[in-house]
Amino acid sequence: VLTIMAPLIKATLATVGMILFLNSWNDFLWPVIVINSRNLRTIPVGIALFKDPYGSMNYGPLMAAAVISTAPMLIAYFFSQKFIVKGIAVSGLKG
């Protein structure tokens, strides 16, 4: 059973792991509620605070922070992509 099931479940585990990582990385509401210290803020909360009190934004640092915050997500995708593609190829085989 493990010789059949283990290769097929790798794609599922990689996908679920990637979705859970993206969900926790992009979490905004819970850190806003819980974290009081300015030093402990997460990246999405910090990006949201780029706005000044009058509503204007400096878009250069905002876009730089957005690119930096997407880098770990892209790295996680590139590492899990191999397992996802291999799982799709294996699950399509008959016999």
Q: Is 51 helix (H, G, I), strand (E, B) or coil?
A: coil
What pLDDT is recorded for position 51?
81
Q: How confident is the model at residue 93 (pLDDT cuts 50, 70, 90)?
A: low
pLDDT in tens, 29-79: 999 999 988 899 888 998 888 888 887 888 899 899 999 999 988 998 888
pTM of the model: 0.67
Judge contact between 44 and 63, C-beta under 8 A.
no
* CA-CA-CA-CA torsion sign (15, 18, 19, 20): positive
pLDDT at 1 exceeding the cut of 80? no
Judge contact between 65 and 50, C-beta under 8 A.
yes
pLDDT at 22 exceeding the cut of 90? no
